[in-house]
A and B are shown apart, each in its own frame.
Chain A
Amino acid sequence: MFVLDTLIHRLKRGCETMSYPQGPAPALPDRHGGALRVDAAKCADGCSACVPVCPTQAITRAPGQPVALDLGRCVFCAACVEACPPGAIVQTGDYRMAVRRREDLMLGPSGQEELRLAEALDGKLRRLFGRSLRLRQVSAGGCSACEADTNVLGTIGWDLGRFGIQFVASPRHADGLLITGPVTQNMELALSKAWAAVPEPKIVIAVGACAIAGGPFVGHAAVRNGAAAVVPVDLYIPGCPPHPLTILDGLLRLLGKLEEKRERVPGGAG
């Protein structure tokens, strides 16, 4: 009896996978805020009200210099946004945050008010991984939230498999690593071994403030302040944790799937 019930319920529910990226991206919660934008030109002379409120010391202002905000360190607490009298730091509401180079997350000076979104892999790597990417996830001090919001991409709502991306159990079967956590000293050996076990050519994706720069634990003796201290990183996805949509956008961006889609569906949400 229950088999029939189960089937009927399943049929009634229909397909629960979101239409993104063909359709519009799901809306971020209104209090999420998205990426930050920094207009250093708006800063008052000598003001550094944002600097001391930041939990991860992501904001600096040297005397006579424009304010600089490292979005890689940011845990998106919005304390700086609230503290900034002239509104030089604002939330853009944009979920897209993945970058290829660490410096593309440095915000502030004119021309660099916003982050510089990741380019797709090119040439051979794109040919190799564009249609099938197998990743080994390594948590190296992650708090389990970055892990959870990566994991959720495998559920029916997101269905990561439809893009040819899959998480595998062995680094030997993988094309790269997806790393979370600040890389604790106690995980450094295991992470290095996992990286060495992935056959060439390989890529590394750092997910979350911890894996990019140490996150809330930056500067602790027990951590290495991010994955790049141990392995070369090809894609940085900021957040604490990044929203699943931000992670998915990063993966698709890297594989050039969003460009392909733009070619097919002109004007669709990207």
Chain B
Amino acid sequence: MSAETPFALLANAASLPWSDVPEWPAADLVRATARELDRGARLCAWFGVPEHGAVRLVALLAFDADNTLAVGRSTPFTGSYPSLTVTHAQAQLFERELWEQHGVTPIGHPWLKPVRRTAAGAPANGEFFRVDGPEVHEVAVGPIHAGIIEPGHFRFQCAGEEVLHLEVALGYQHRGVETALAGGPHRATLSQMETVAGDTTVAHATAYATVLEALAGVEAPLRAQWLRAIALELERLANHTGDLGALANDVAFLPTSAACGKIRGDFLNLTALICGNRFGRGLVRPGGCRYDLEAERAAQLLQRLRVALRDTEQAAAWLWDAASVRSRFENVGTVFSAQATEIGLVGMAARACGLVRDVRYDHPAGWHRFAQVPVVVWPGGDVFARAKVRSLEIQRSGEFLCEQLAAPVEGEHSVESPPPAPDTLAVALVEGWRGEVCHVALTDAAGRFLRYKIIDPSFHNWTGMTLALRGTAISDFPICNKSFNLSYCGFDL
């Protein structure tokens, strides 16, 4: 399919001169993009690049089956263009964001409202889709939630217990990350990349470092790539384990909840063993890794990892053995696989709808070119499937880590990364624990960032969470939400 595309092809973790990206008038870019999406491509990114008071659209597509990415752009324009969302729902948030950031209107967009901007002091004060009727009532939750978690607002339209429609109003966490990146990299950039979504530090830092390396035309040493792959799976283990525990807690199954809460910390401590920080801050640097994993440390890591994996296995076994848990998870919060494809779901949530969608497999870069983690797929799209995928991924990641730690790569763990090349576009996708983390950088004539676009998997997946709630009892909202466990700050940037 990708062989006949008019878009410029590039591999994950690669760059190309900005002038090599084909350009069309905006309406033609929309048509060309629609055609590729119809042929099975997926929309990874759709964003604007400011140019002399006008804006250029950039479309980044993934041809998963062909293991390639493709990029195209529009000529600069102002005003409006025909909306892609009308025919392809996966573009809906991208087009709202584009409208919010650059003031160009996608004509025909069915629900053009802000993505992060506030109305009267808070995102929740904006307009919401409303259902009217005698039995219909509206429930508002947030921004501040009951637990220790990030803020966001949920607006439910319910008939009795049943949720007819859920709309999420985010933006509370907006810290101005992308704005600050213009003209970068700056002193604070790496710290900001590590905290775009604080539970996904390794994935975002790896994407950032990879983009910078691609722009500089260097590769991190193999040992650093190996170490990044190890840290990435530790991040996945910690989060998946924590989420299994949280799901257990939400259905009042306390043995697994108590155990997983503790084991999650054990996994975080393994990351801290490598770099001192439980979330992997300070580990990944452009050009490699800041710390090495010496033989003795690796041995200690492996030994503690085995214990934690055994504990997790046991805690998961209790969970899956309990009929009461299974019946609470099954057929709750279903996203059908056709819906998942339509809205462009990514990562673990997509795999729980039976879709084979995993950057480590579809677009291998870094160490994943040499060592594979099997893709875990489970059909069904319900809370059960998402919990099951997590549980199976814990096993796969654990096995991968044991293999990798037993066969370290020799060599340097860091090299100098030269400054970025001018007028160049680079892309990096990394399969974070939630799914596809996508970073796209475009440099100006001086080699500084003209535009830096970040797409956290949550950007694609919040829509999936809202669909999961349709027809579900509102009392099941906590387990549905937890089964996705999406990032607020990763979305809000």
Contact = CB atoms under 8 A, between A and B. Distances in A.
Partners in one complex: yes
Contacts, number: 183
Given A77-B282, A143-B197, A186-B174, A52 B276 contact: no
B118 A186 contact: yes
Given A32-B276, A145-B279, A148-B198, A187 B172 contact: yes
A16 B262 contact: yes
A30 interface: yes
Interface in B130-166: 143-144, 146-151
Interface in A205-240: 215-218, 220-223, 240
Given A31-B276, A149-B278, A217 B176 contact: yes
Contact of A186 (B171, B262, B274): B171
Contact of A32 (B122, B190, B277): B277
A55 B277 contact: no
A84 interface: no
B276 A216 contact: no
A141 interface: yes
Given A29-B272, A147-B149, A187-B151, A142 B198 contact: yes
Contacts of A241: 198, 278-279
B216 to A, nearest CB: 20
A6 to B, nearest CB: 5
B151 A139 contact: yes
A143 B196 contact: yes
Given A32-B276, A182-B175, A2 B318 contact: yes
A5 B255 CA distance: 11
A190 B151 contact: yes
Given A137-B148, A149-B278, A142 B489 contact: yes
Most buried by B among A143, A184, A185, A218: A143
A264 interface: no
B106 interface: no
A164 interface: no
A132 interface: no
Interface string B459-493: 00000000000000000000000000001110010
B188 A184 contact: no
Interface in A106-164: 136-152, 154-157
A186 B322 CA distance: 42
A215 B322 contact: no
B144 A243 contact: no
Given A30-B276, A156-B262, A215-B195, A55 B187 contact: yes
B153 to A, nearest CB: 9
A204 interface: no
Contacts of A265: none
A97 B492 CA distance: 30
A167 B258 contact: no
A54 interface: yes
B176 A223 contact: yes
Given A6-B318, A222-B175, A144 B121 contact: no
Nearest to A1: B321
Interface residues of A, number: 66
Contacts of B171: 186
Nearest to B275: A31
B276 A217 contact: no
A48 interface: no
B261 interface: yes
Contacts of A29: 269, 272-273, 276, 278
Contact of B122 (A31, A190, A221, A240): A190
A182 B276 CA distance: 23
A55 B173 contact: no
B189 to A, nearest CB: 8
B291 A31 contact: yes
A217 B191 CA distance: 9
Contacts of A243: 278
Nearest to B291: A31
B195 A216 contact: yes
A21 interface: no
B358 interface: no
A33 B275 CA distance: 10
A56 B199 CA distance: 20
A10 B259 CA distance: 9
A148 B267 CA distance: 13
A31 B272 contact: yes
Given A31-B275, A139-B151, A194 B144 contact: yes
Contacts of B188: 55-56, 216-218
A43 to B, nearest CB: 21
Given A148-B279, A185-B174, A217-B188, 13 more contacts: A5-B321, A6-B318, A29-B273, A31-B273, A56-B188, A56-B191, A78-B282, A143-B196, A144-B150, A148-B199, A155-B265, A194-B144, A217-B177
Interface of B: 116, 118, 121-123, 143-144, 146-151, 171-177, 179-180, 187-188, 190-192, 194-199, 201, 242, 255, 258, 261-262, 264-265, 269, 272-279, 281-282, 291, 314, 318, 321-322, 487-489, 492
11 contacts: A6-B318, A9-B314, A9-B318, A29-B272, A31-B273, A137-B147, A155-B258, A185-B174, A217-B176, A220-B180, A222-B174
